[in-house]
Amino acid sequence: MRQTSLWNDQWQFQIEGAADWESVCLPHTWNALDGQDGGGDYYQGKAWYRKRFLAETPWEQVYLRFGAVSKRAEVYCNGQLVGSHNGGFSAFTLELTPYLRQGENELTVMADNSADLPIYPEYADFTFFGGIYREVELICFDTKAHFDVEAFGTDAVLITPDVTGTVTMQTTLTGNGLLRSEILDEAGAAVAAVEEIVSAGDHVTRLTVPQPHRWDGTAAPYLYTAQLTLSSAGKELDRFSDSFGFRDYFVSPSEGFFLNGRSYPLHGVCRHQDREDMGWAITEKEHMEDMSLIRELGANTLRLAHYQHAPFFYHLCDREGMVVWAEIPFISGHDPRPEADANLLQQLRELILQNYNHPSICFWGIANELGIAKETEAMLSITQRLNDLAKQLDATRPTVIANVGMTVPESPLFHITDLTSYNEYMGWYTGSADDHGSFCDERHSRIPEIPMAVSEYGADCLLQWHSAQPKVQDYTEEYQAIVHEKAMAAFNARPYLWATWLWNMFDFAADGRDEGGCKGRNNKGLVTYDRKTKKQAFFFYKALWSKEPFVYLCGKRYLKRAAEKIEVKVYTNLPHVALWVNGHFVGEQDGNTVFLFPDVPLRMGFNELVARTPEGCMDSLILERVASEPEEYVFKESKNFSSAVAQWFADVSQEPVSRELDIRPGYLSVNDSMELIYSVPEGYKAVQELVIKALAIDNPGAAKRMESGGALSFTDLWHHIQKQLPDEVYYLLNERLNRIPKP
Ligand code: GCB
């Protein structure tokens, strides 16, 4: 028999070199606070966990299963190395048996999230929290014959259902016995069963479920359970059970996604796994809260970015009928060290084999935004190897890649995976919010044979900023909502898109960021990092996607207005809305999702606005009309580079710099690709001297990212770093480049 117990309590922890140990419970990270407070300076290094325990029962075999340790783990028992694991997101299981002694034992775990490890992610726009941030389980057997719990970190049972009803189960056993395999329906009744005498090693069992129910998205996510019992001479040795579902799907390059034979347009969100003051060390409670908000929004698909998420969350996705894109953290650049390639392959292997049984997972994502760096042969070769590995491990699911919007359609990055997609930030980093449609059409027309999706789009928003004339990069709630409204209008009119995922469902920690007056955070969420506030754009999507009738009056935090007449925006999923102000009827409208009431008069002082629908839904808002537009709603950009950067700039810019952008034909400029600029030694030198040096003083992560060069122009990259440098740097660099003939 197997006995599993959670091993989350009574650990001690210290950062390497610290004098004292502190008592902690798992899940735990040491970066919960310094990973979210900005500065890009959170502790990335080694730390130690230890746990003392008594071993009294003489078990035949004892294993420890770690849900995830970021990024590298070394596990010791009584001072001896038991094993190690590279990769911060996948589970791993180690056998403790030979290291245990009767009575008192000590387990020690070194966790390491050092920045220079050849372990992905290496550069990315989020905090790489360190620690044992998922659960640890102790698995004990009184037999040597059981499911192979070590094989790829989990229990080594792969279930492949076919919609005809055939279920193929591949198992790896560590001993002989009688294997009883059963399929249970949702009510727990056995609908198929078989018994076989089996011996140690790999084994394949086939069963048939008559007329299987389909796992059919959010409307009917029907799950079966496979239960496998290994026994010998009437004694149960081990038991495994997992849920699975029957579904089929395909992606058409011209008509999008089809689930179980019918068109099923995918619209949803990307999600990171962190939470304010907790980092990645979250529990089932936080996972369930996240899922409940995603359900409220009405999404039917999730891109679980940018790495393997918790097993519990994939189970929630199965239960809620979400179609999931699961991925590995191969992001924004390639580390040429061979160990780094090996690490990518291992992370993909673990992602697939540990999550193979989830019906929710429909796509394996192998990389994100590689085109932001230089496309080297080595990068393309590992991307191809990753794709081949995914195909070899799982013949049933298509592969996908998220390419940065600037990647040219000719790039091989579009021709490796089955499906493709773009991260495009029209109306935020580039272009205007009106460009989503033209961007998609242009890209689609250039490679129409490959199904195309939008894997990210969006805009930052902080709750305190507001404007009646919202504009790009003003960080207002109103502008974020406009980007999403326009993007969805464009996407919905383009059925060739096989899916869209907005970036991001939740604000998340990115310690190197300093944006809109907020340090350490990416604020593109529809919901705040603490999950306490739904931003205006949340209600736009709810009106568009959810079926639960409601009405929402926009402007919940934009409460003081100077104008005599204002435009009032209402979101609802109902077809008719009426508006009242101070008890007077203003007007009513038939429409769809977004309802605009222009020229709504306000009197000085307080005004009550009420929106109602004939179904009885209602929302209200009290606005105060004030004499002049309050300053408090406007984010005033302030450069906050350090005195070291100011000093550096004084040194490099001896003469005044003009703010004119001269582009000299035949000479380099900031609008050239980094690749071209770097191909000339003087170009490389100019960027080093004027940009990289200053960034390295203040933000080593950004400096590294810039270093990688690539197809993006300096201008494209500038908006990521401009807050850390004087504006003049941009013009000064252009002046220098203007003196260098194009190669
Ligand atoms: C992207 C990245 C994502 C970033 C996002 C942003 O394209 O894939 O990791 O967080 O842009 O907000 O800039």
Residue 674, pLDDT above cutoff 90: no
At 681 the three-state DSSP class reads helix
Of the residues 503, 518, 523, which should be mutated to test ligand 1's pocket, given the most ligand atoms within 8 Å of the CB? Answer: 503
Of 357, 285, 361, the residue nearest 328 (C-alpha): 361
CA distance 85 to 167: 32
At 312 the three-state DSSP class reads helix
Residue 369 φ/ψ, nearest 5 degrees: 50, 45
- Give the β-pairing of 177-184 and 166-173: unpaired
Could you tell me what percent of the chain has a pLDDT over 90? 85
Mean pLDDT confidence for 558-582: 98
Cβ proximity of 534 and 550 under 8 Å = no
| Interval between CA 425 and ligand 1 midpoint (Å) | 9
Residue 541, pLDDT above cutoff 70: yes
Q: Is 368 in the pocket of ligand 1 (CB under 6 A)?
A: yes
| Interval between CA 470 and ligand 1 midpoint (Å) | 22
CA distance 20 to 50: 12
Task: Tell the residue nearest (CA) to atom 3 of ligand 1.
Answer: 125
What burial letters (b/e) apply to 509-535, b meaning 16+ CB within 10 Å? bbbbbbbbebbbbbbbbbbbbebebbb
| Interval between CA 238 and ligand 1 midpoint (Å) | 44
What number of residues does the chain have?
Answer: 743
Of 538, 536, 529, 532, the residue nearest 272 (C-alpha): 529
Task: Tell the residue nearest (CA) to atom 10 of ligand 1.
Answer: 125
Q: What is the CATH number of the domain that holds 589?
A: 2.60.40.10
Within a domain: 479: no
CA distance 405 to 425: 8
Of 492, 529, 533, the residue nearest 510 (C-alpha): 529
- Angstrom CA distances, 235 to 143, 171, 205, 229, 230, stand at 11, 20, 21, 10, 9
User: The domain containing residue 118 runs over which residues?
Assistant: 2-141
Within a domain: 678: yes
- Residue 154 confidence (pLDDT): 86
Q: Is 523 in the pocket of ligand 1 (CB under 6 A)?
A: no
CA 512-130-269 angle, to 5 degrees, is 65
Residue 322, pLDDT above cutoff 90: yes
- Residue 151 confidence (pLDDT): 86
Residue 563, pLDDT above cutoff 90: yes
Domain match, 131 and 169 both? no
| Interval between CA 441 and ligand 1 midpoint (Å) | 22
Looking from the CA of residue 522, the nearest atom of ligand 1 is 12
| Interval between CA 125 and ligand 1 midpoint (Å) | 6
Of the residues 120, 123, 125, which should be mutated to test ligand 1's pocket, given the most ligand atoms within 8 Å of the CB? Answer: 125
Domain match, 77 and 119 both? yes
Q: Is 504 in the pocket of ligand 1 (CB under 6 A)?
A: no
- Residue 333 confidence (pLDDT): 87
Residues 6+ apart with CB under 8 A from 535: 461, 463, 477, 480, 481, 525, 526, 527, 528
- Residue 640 confidence (pLDDT): 67
Domain match, 81 and 49 both? yes
Q: Is 716 in the pocket of ligand 1 (CB under 6 A)?
A: no
CA distance 252 to 398: 12
Residue 284, pLDDT above cutoff 90: yes
- Give the β-pairing of 618-625 and 584-590: unpaired
Residue 712, pLDDT above cutoff 80: no
- Residue 727 confidence (pLDDT): 87
Higher per-residue confidence, 410 vs 251: 251
- Residue 325 confidence (pLDDT): 98
Looking from the CA of residue 524, the nearest atom of ligand 1 is 12
Domain match, 24 and 119 both? yes
- Residue 656 confidence (pLDDT): 78
| Interval between CA 514 and ligand 1 midpoint (Å) | 14
Within a domain: 44: yes
Domain match, 625 and 659 both? no
Of the residues 307, 423, 719, which should be mutated to test ligand 1's pocket, given the most ligand atoms within 8 Å of the CB? Answer: 423
Task: Tell the residue nearest (CA) to atom 9 of ligand 1.
Answer: 125
| Interval between CA 507 and ligand 1 midpoint (Å) | 12
Q: Is 369 in the pocket of ligand 1 (CB under 6 A)?
A: yes
Domain match, 651 and 712 both? yes
The last residue of one of the domains, among 577, 600, 633, is 633
Give the position of tokens 């009646």.
468
Mean pLDDT confidence for 348-355: 98
Q: Is 303 in the pocket of ligand 1 (CB under 6 A)?
A: no
What would the two tokens of residue 600 be?
A: 């709504």
Q: Is 514 in the pocket of ligand 1 (CB under 6 A)?
A: no
Residues 6+ apart with CB under 8 A from 741: 666, 667, 668
The tally of CA atoms less than 13 A away on the side-chain side of residue 356 is: 27
Task: Tell the residue nearest (CA) to atom 1 of ligand 1.
Answer: 423
Mean pLDDT confidence for 553-560: 98
CA 200-172-181 angle, to 5 degrees, is 95
Q: What is the CATH number of the domain that holds 105?
A: 2.60.120.260
Of the residues 522, 705, 712, 719, which should be mutated to test ligand 1's pocket, given the most ligand atoms within 8 Å of the CB? Answer: 522
| Interval between CA 21 and ligand 1 midpoint (Å) | 37
- At 38-54, the pLDDT tens digits run 988 999 999 999 999 99
What would the two tokens of residue 401 be?
A: 């890649």
Domain match, 131 and 82 both? yes
- Residue 254 confidence (pLDDT): 97
At 231 the three-state DSSP class reads strand
| Interval between CA 510 and ligand 1 midpoint (Å) | 10
The last residue of one of the domains, among 633, 665, 681, is 633
| Interval between CA 331 and ligand 1 midpoint (Å) | 10
Domain match, 30 and 109 both? yes
Cβ proximity of 425 and 458 under 8 Å = yes
Residues 6+ apart with CB under 8 A from 204: 168, 169, 170, 171
Domain match, 170 and 126 both? no
- Residue 11 confidence (pLDDT): 98
Task: Tell the residue nearest (CA) to atom 13 of ligand 1.
Answer: 125
- At 610-665, the pLDDT tens digits run 999 999 999 999 999 999 989 999 998 767 677 788 888 888 887 778 888 888 99
DSSP assigned state of 691: I
| Interval between CA 45 and ligand 1 midpoint (Å) | 25
The number of beta carbons lying within 10 Å of the beta carbon of residue 98 is: 10
- Residue 711 confidence (pLDDT): 72
Within a domain: 699: yes
361 pLDDT band, cuts 50/70/90, is very high
CA distance 585 to 419: 51
701 pLDDT band, cuts 50/70/90, is low
Residue 698, pLDDT above cutoff 90: no
Looking from the CA of residue 460, the nearest atom of ligand 1 is 12
Within a domain: 571: yes
Within a domain: 652: yes
The last residue of one of the domains, among 141, 171, 203, is 141
CA distance 572 to 544: 8
510 pLDDT band, cuts 50/70/90, is very high
Domain match, 693 and 664 both? yes
CA distance 681 to 701: 23
Residue 346, pLDDT above cutoff 90: yes
- Residue 709 confidence (pLDDT): 62
181-185, 286-290, 373-377: least confident range? 373-377
What would the two tokens of residue 633 be?
A: 């709603």
Looking from the CA of residue 423, the nearest atom of ligand 1 is 7
Query: Would you call 369 a catalytic residue per the annotation?
Result: yes
Within a domain: 355: no
Number of domains forming the structure of the chain: 4
Task: Tell the residue nearest (CA) to atom 2 of ligand 1.
Answer: 125
Q: Is 597 in the pocket of ligand 1 (CB under 6 A)?
A: no
Q: Is 524 in the pocket of ligand 1 (CB under 6 A)?
A: yes
- Angstrom CA distances, 703 to 44, 90, 156, 676, 707, stand at 17, 29, 42, 18, 6
- Residue 263 confidence (pLDDT): 98
Looking from the CA of residue 458, the nearest atom of ligand 1 is 12
Q: Is 522 in the pocket of ligand 1 (CB under 6 A)?
A: yes
CA distance 571 to 555: 11
- Residue 654 confidence (pLDDT): 78
Q: Is 455 in the pocket of ligand 1 (CB under 6 A)?
A: no
What is the overall mean pLDDT for the chain?
A: 95
Within a domain: 553: no
Domain match, 615 and 681 both? no
- Residue 211 confidence (pLDDT): 97
CA distance 386 to 378: 12
Q: Is 125 in the pocket of ligand 1 (CB under 6 A)?
A: yes
Domain match, 660 and 731 both? yes
CA distance 564 to 567: 10
The tally of CA atoms less than 13 A away on the side-chain side of residue 327 is: 26
For 327-357, give the DSSP string.
E---BSS---SHHHHHHHHHHHHHHHHHHTT
Cβ proximity of 619 and 611 under 8 Å = yes
Of 394, 557, 420, the residue nearest 480 (C-alpha): 557
Of 504, 75, 597, the residue nearest 297 (C-alpha): 504
The 3 state secondary structure assigned to 397-442 is CCEEEEEECCCCCCCHHHCCCCEEEEECCECCCECCHHHHHHHHHH
Mean pLDDT confidence for 362-366: 98
- At 4-51, the pLDDT tens digits run 999 999 999 999 999 999 999 999 999 999 999 998 899 999 999 999
> Of these residues, 320, 369, 424, 485, which one is catalytic?
369
For the entire predicted model, the pTM comes to 0.92
Q: Is 244 in the pocket of ligand 1 (CB under 6 A)?
A: no
Residue 255, pLDDT above cutoff 70: yes
Q: Is 456 in the pocket of ligand 1 (CB under 6 A)?
A: yes
- At 127-178, the pLDDT tens digits run 999 999 999 999 999 999 999 999 888 888 999 999 999 999 999 999 999 9
| Interval between CA 456 and ligand 1 midpoint (Å) | 8
